[in-house]
Amino acid sequence: MEGEVSLIVSTGWLTGNQSDPHSTVTKTARSPSPVRAAPAPRRDPAASREALMTAAVAQFARKGFEGARVDEIAAGAGLNKQLVYHYFGSKQGLYLAALESVYVQIREKERRLSLGELDPVEAMAQLVGFSFDYLLEHPEFIALLADENRNKGEHILGSEKLRRMHTPFLDMLDATLAKGVEQGVFRADFDAVNVYISMAGISYFFFSNNHTLSAIFGRKLGSRAALAARRRHVIAFTLNALRPEGAG
C-alpha cells in the first residue's frame, strides 16, 4: 500500500525464541512524514544596514578608506559582503555613508542643547564643552575626519546631505552670536563659520595630536586632570575671544 512499507521480522528475535529462525511474520508500519525545513529567518534591512554601518565606521577609522576591506567589514557585521553592494552600491558608497553617519550623530546631539533657550554666554560655554566632550568620547570621529582630509575631502564633496545638515546648526550658532551682540556680551565682527572653526579646532588639535604633544612637553595630556584643565581652558579661551573689545 502507498504510504506503507512491509517489514519482514524474524519471530525468533521478536519473541526471544530462536528455535525457528526461519519462521517470519509480516508487519506493516507507516513511513515517517517528510521533514519540512524550518522557514529561513526574514532579513531585517534596517538592522542589517545598522550592523554594516557600525562595522564600517570601526574599520574605516582604524584602517582608512584605502586600508579597509569590504569582506572584513561584512564579517564584522556578521553578514554576507554582497549586502554591502546591495545597500550601499560600492565601497565608496559605504565610506560616504559612514562619514554622514558620524556627522549626523554630532549634529543631532548639538541640536538637543537647545542653545536658543539659554543666555548667550552660557549657550556658548555649553557648546564648547560639548564639542570637547564629544571628541574625547568619539575618537573614531577624529580618525575618519583625518582620513577624509588625506583624501582631500573628495567623498564629502559629493554629499548634499552633509551640506544640508550643517545649515540648521550654523543658523543656531548665528542666532546665539546675534543674541550676544544685542546684549553687549559678544563682539559684532565674528561670523558663525569662523567661530565654529576656531572653537572646534582648538579641541580637535588637542585630541588628534595628544600623543605627540604629551611626548614633546613631557606631560600626560590624556590624564583625567589634564583633560579637565584643557576643557576649562578652551571654554574660557572661546568666551574671552568673543568678548567685545574694552569689556572688563
C-alpha cell read off for 55: 562595522
Asked if residue 9 is part of any domain, the answer here is no
Q: What's residue 165's pLDDT?
A: 84
pLDDT tens over the chain, length 248 residues: 444 333 333 333 333 444 443 444 444 444 444 445 444 345 688 999 999 999 999 999 999 999 999 999 999 999 999 999 999 999 999 999 999 999 999 999 988 888 889 999 999 999 999 999 999 999 999 999 999 999 899 888 878 888 888 888 899 999 999 999 999 999 999 999 999 999 999 999 999 999 999 999 999 999 999 999 999 999 999 999 999 986 65
C-alpha cell read off for 186: 559678544
Asked if residue 131 is part of any domain, the answer here is yes
Report how far residue 233's alpha carbon sits from residue 239's, in angstroms, rounded to the nearest whole number.
Answer: 10
Asked if residue 95 is part of any domain, the answer here is no
CATH of the domain at 160: 1.10.357.10
Q: What's residue 52's pLDDT?
A: 95
SS3 of 88-104: the string is HCCHHHHHHHHHHHHHH
Q: What's residue 36's pLDDT?
A: 52
Asked if residue 199 is part of any domain, the answer here is yes
Cβ-defined contacts of 21-30 (< 8 Å, 24+): 28/1, 28/4, 29/4, 29/5, 30/3, 30/4
Asked if residue 26 is part of any domain, the answer here is no
Asked if residue 70 is part of any domain, the answer here is no
Report how far residue 179's alpha carbon sits from residue 162's, in angstroms, rounded to the nearest whole number.
Answer: 26
User: Can you give the residue range of the structural domain that contains 156?
Assistant: 101-242
Task: Identify any residues that bridge with 223 across adjacent strands, giving them in sequence order.
Answer: none
Average pLDDT, the chain: 85
Q: What's residue 43's pLDDT?
A: 66
Asked if residue 148 is part of any domain, the answer here is yes
Q: At 138, is the secondary structure helix, strand, or coil?
A: coil
Q: How many domains does the chain have?
A: 1
Asked if residue 232 is part of any domain, the answer here is yes
Q: Identify how many contiguous H helices and E strands the chain contains and give both numbers.
A: 11, 2
Q: What is the pTM of this model?
A: 0.77
What pLDDT digit, counting tens, does each position of 81-100 carry?
A: 999 999 999 999 999 999 99
